[in-house]
């Protein structure tokens, strides 16, 4: 009878360990904390069973309890051995070399219409509304985690559909597609249910069961001893859905995680392949998990002078700000966050940007507001309405380091937009559209003579005199804006706030005007100064002295802005005076620099 009892206990032990593995699915490797714990418990259980057969139940129970305690203690000691205290240099250097760049190199200028002002919360809201159009569908599926990505040059959120319960999964076994939401246009929402004329059926996902459970499927496909994290739903450029899962290893005991590649699983067929970082298909945007990069950035900034400095010195220590944004620059995806001194809440000392595929890191040193401080500034513009700011998006406006914000009402719908100056977050402007907010912001910057307009690189400023061909005005959000087309510059539309000059209100077609501006090459140009030559407005002696004192401090001529004033006539004469050989040499130098 005793043998039967021991046999039952042994069989039950095996069943429990097997069920525990199926539910937990840890990597079968002691290099990972979860794997070490599972394997340790299995070994202790095996030894206890052997002791039970050799001796009795009492000895087996003691061995089991003591063994589990030993495994947990060793796991804790391993965690300490792999911590900052013993691996400060390894962790500080894990991010790799951080390249110092200027802001204009880090964030390239884009058209305001391409700014991704839709955040994940709004994308989910729009996707949920789309699902709600089909009552039958909405009762059996729910939205998965939205993932931002660039598909064929368009930045969008891709939202998978998941089963609401085991019973719904058991009945349907697949979900009928996915939803895309444009990151720059919240009204552009597509429910994709077919691909090349065939219906989409997503069978493998985290909310599926048994062999169709995504993690269990990958373990069964040979990835039993590999660390897996960051389950992201992505589509390739043809629209075919996949799961992209990062594989990783630890560089210290149980910590300092480092991505090694990705497992790509076809969400419909289950076909599974592993790719190294270098060989990962181009359509995959994110290989490096955000949590890994955030830890590595903090380690890089805080461990600059070793572990003990973090405990007692705090010398030259920096850390990332609260928000980490996912941004796109020239088709590449990056994590973007501010850097601030340890102990500082509202100001940042620079920005760091890390490529989400190869982990190439860049930093620009520019003092200014943190993302949270900028959000408060944007919300202050609409405090009467109680709108809340989306996470700010870093943009480059004529070289100005700027945060772009969406402003949402209580229902989470976009109602307005705001731009906030990074270096001086008291300079901010709002508008009902991005274009309106951009115009108001440029004028706000131009009015603030002490503000650096072009953050770090050179820009070209123009002074132009000519006749007005057309002029009109509109009132937006209580402010008047003027639009001009001038003779000889028909390819540009010049805009100016009424605050640039009182002469704008009395300017008519045919008047000769002189304007200064910094050209952003986007067609519409914001005027910095405006003078109608037809009028000779008298200036007092006191005002003349004031103007003399203000020279070199305006948005156009401040030395800090590094604006190179261009005289088109002189430039053309200089070019025409060059020999063919000199022109060829100049063009070659231009190509080399660009």
**Which class for 423: exposed (0-12), middle (13-18), buried (19 or more C-beta within 10 A)?**
middle
Express each pLDDT in 11-52 by its tens digit: 999 999 999 999 999 999 999 999 999 999 999 999 999 998
**CA separation for the pair 162, 265 (Å, rounded):** 16
Q: Tokens 């003691």 identify what position? A: 62
Instruction: Show which of 271, 287, 303 is a domain's final residue.
Output: 287
At residue 190, the pLDDT reads 94
Least confident of 39-53, 119-133, 479-493, 560-574: 560-574
Express each pLDDT in 199-243 by its tens digit: 999 999 999 999 999 999 999 999 999 999 999 999 999 999 999
At residue 455, the pLDDT reads 40
CB 456, CB 399: distance < 8 Å: yes
Domain assignment present for residue 505? The answer is: yes
Residues 6+ apart with CB under 8 A from 226: 27, 29, 247
Domain assignment present for residue 413? The answer is: no
CB 31, CB 250: distance < 8 Å: yes
On whether both 283 and 168 belong to a single domain, the answer is yes
CB 473, CB 431: distance < 8 Å: no
At residue 105, the pLDDT reads 81
- Beta-strand runs (E) in 498-571: 512-518, 524-532, 563-566
On whether both 267 and 125 belong to a single domain, the answer is yes
- Does residue 569 surpass a pLDDT of 80? no
The mean pLDDT value for 186-195 works out to: 93
Domain assignment present for residue 309? The answer is: no
Beta bridge partners of 361: 98, 354
Share of the chain above pLDDT 90, in %: 50
Q: Say which residue, 355 or 517, is predicted with more confidence.
A: 355
On whether both 161 and 271 belong to a single domain, the answer is yes
Express each pLDDT in 490-534 by its tens digit: 778 888 877 778 888 889 999 999 988 866 555 567 787 888 888
Average pLDDT for the chain? 85
Domain hosting 44: range is 2-81
At residue 273, the pLDDT reads 98
Express each pLDDT in 388-412 by its tens digit: 999 898 988 877 889 999 999 998 8
The mean pLDDT value for 271-278 works out to: 97
Q: What is the chain's Cα-based Rg?
A: 31
At residue 546, the pLDDT reads 54
**CA separation for the pair 377, 369 (Å, rounded):** 10
On whether both 256 and 122 belong to a single domain, the answer is yes
Domain assignment present for residue 350? The answer is: no
At residue 24, the pLDDT reads 95
Residues 6+ apart with CB under 8 A from 194: 177, 200
The mean pLDDT value for 368-378 works out to: 90
On whether both 75 and 145 belong to a single domain, the answer is no
Instruction: Show which of 287, 311, 327 is a domain's final residue.
Output: 287
On whether both 126 and 266 belong to a single domain, the answer is yes
Q: Say which residue, 290 or 531, is predicted with more confidence.
A: 290
The mean pLDDT value for 141-168 works out to: 93
Number of domain units in the chain: 3
- Beta-strand runs (E) in 218-324: 227-235, 241-252, 255-266, 272-276, 318-320
On whether both 151 and 258 belong to a single domain, the answer is yes
- pLDDT-derived band of residue 149, with 50, 70 and 90 as boundaries? very high
Express each pLDDT in 74-110 by its tens digit: 999 999 999 999 999 999 999 999 999 988 788 877 7
Domain assignment present for residue 331? The answer is: no
Least confident of 73-77, 194-198, 415-419, 535-539: 535-539
Domain assignment present for residue 94? The answer is: no
Domain assignment present for residue 593? The answer is: no
- Does residue 552 surpass a pLDDT of 90? no
Q: Tokens 């002791």 identify what position? A: 51
- Does residue 561 surpass a pLDDT of 60? no
Range with top average pLDDT, 14-23, 302-311, 455-464: 14-23
On whether both 73 and 162 belong to a single domain, the answer is no
Instruction: Show which of 266, 287, 308 is a domain's final residue.
Output: 287
């Amino acid at each position: 009878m005793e043998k039967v009892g021991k046999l039952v206990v042994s069989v039950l032990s095996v069943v429990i360990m097997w069920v525990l593995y199926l539910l937990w699915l840890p990597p079968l490797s002691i290099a990972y904390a979860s794997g070490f714990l599972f394997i340790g418990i299995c070994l202790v259980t095996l030894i206890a069973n052997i002791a039970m057969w050799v001796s009795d139940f009492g000895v087996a129970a003691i061995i089991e309890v003591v063994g589990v305690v030993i495994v947990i203690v060793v796991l804790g000691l391993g965690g300490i051995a792999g911590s900052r205290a013993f691996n400060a240099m390894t962790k500080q250097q894990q991010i790799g070399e951080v390249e110092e760049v200027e802001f204009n190199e880090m964030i390239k200028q884009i058209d305001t219409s391409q700014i991704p002002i839709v955040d994940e919360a709004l994308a989910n809201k729009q996707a949920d509304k789309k699902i709600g159009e089909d009552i039958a569908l909405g009762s059996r599926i729910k939205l998965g985690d939205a993932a931002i990505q660039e598909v064929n040059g368009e930045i969008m959120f891709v939202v998978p559909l998941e089963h609401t319960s085991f019973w719904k999964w058991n009945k349907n076994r697949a979900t009928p597609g996915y939803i895309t939401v444009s990151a720059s246009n919240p009204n552009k929402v597509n429910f994709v249910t077919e691909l090349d004329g065939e219906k989409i059926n997503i069978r493998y996902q985290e909310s599926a069961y048994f062999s169709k459970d995504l993690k269990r499927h990958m373990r069964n496909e040979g990835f039993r001893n590999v660390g897996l994290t960051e389950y992201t739903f992505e589509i390739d450029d043809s629209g075919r859905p996949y799961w992209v899962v990062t594989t990783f290893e630890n560089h210290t005991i149980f910590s300092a995680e480092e991505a090694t590649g990705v497992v790509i699983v076809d969400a419909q067929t289950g076909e599974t392949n592993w790719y190294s970082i270098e060989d990962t298909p181009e359509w995959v945007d994110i290989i490096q998990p955000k949590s890994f990069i955030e830890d590595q950035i903090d380690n890089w900034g805080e461990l600059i002078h070793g572990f003990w400095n973090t405990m007692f010195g705090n010398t030259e220590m920096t850390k990332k700000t609260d928000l980490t944004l996912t941004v796109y620059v020239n088709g590449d995806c990056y994590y973007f966050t501010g850097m601030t001194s340890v102990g500082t809440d509202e100001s940042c000392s620079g920005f760091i940007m890390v490529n989400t595929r190869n982990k190439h890191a860049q930093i620009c040193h520019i003092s200014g507001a943190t993302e949270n401080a900028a959000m408060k500034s944007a919300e202050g513009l609409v405090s009467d309405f109680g709108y809340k700011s989306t996470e700010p998006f870093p943009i480059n406006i004529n070289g100005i380091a700027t945060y772009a914000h969406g402003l949402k009402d209580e229902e989470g719908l976009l109602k307005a937009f705001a731009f906030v100056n990074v270096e001086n977050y008291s300079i901010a402007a709002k508008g009902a559209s991005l274009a309106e907010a951009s115009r108001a912001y440029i004028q706000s910057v131009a009015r603030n003579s002490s503000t650096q307009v072009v953050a770090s690189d050179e820009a070209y400023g123009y002074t132009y005199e000519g006749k007005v061909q057309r002029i009109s005005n509109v009132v937006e959000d209580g402010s008047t804006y003027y639009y001009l087309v001038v003779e000889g510059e028909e390819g540009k539309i010049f805009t100016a706030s009424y605050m640039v000059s009182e002469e704008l209100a009395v300017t008519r077609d045919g008047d000769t005007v002189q304007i200064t501006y910094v050209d952003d090459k986007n067609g519409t140009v914001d005027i910095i100064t405006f003078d109608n030559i037809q009028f000779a407005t008298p200036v007092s002696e006191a005002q003349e002295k004031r103007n003399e004192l203000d020279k070199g401090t305006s948005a156009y001529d401040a030395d800090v802005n590094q604006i190179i004033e261009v005289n088109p006539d002189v430039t053309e004469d200089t070019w025409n005076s060059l020999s063919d050989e000199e022109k060829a040499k100049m063009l070659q130098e231009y190509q080399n620099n660009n």
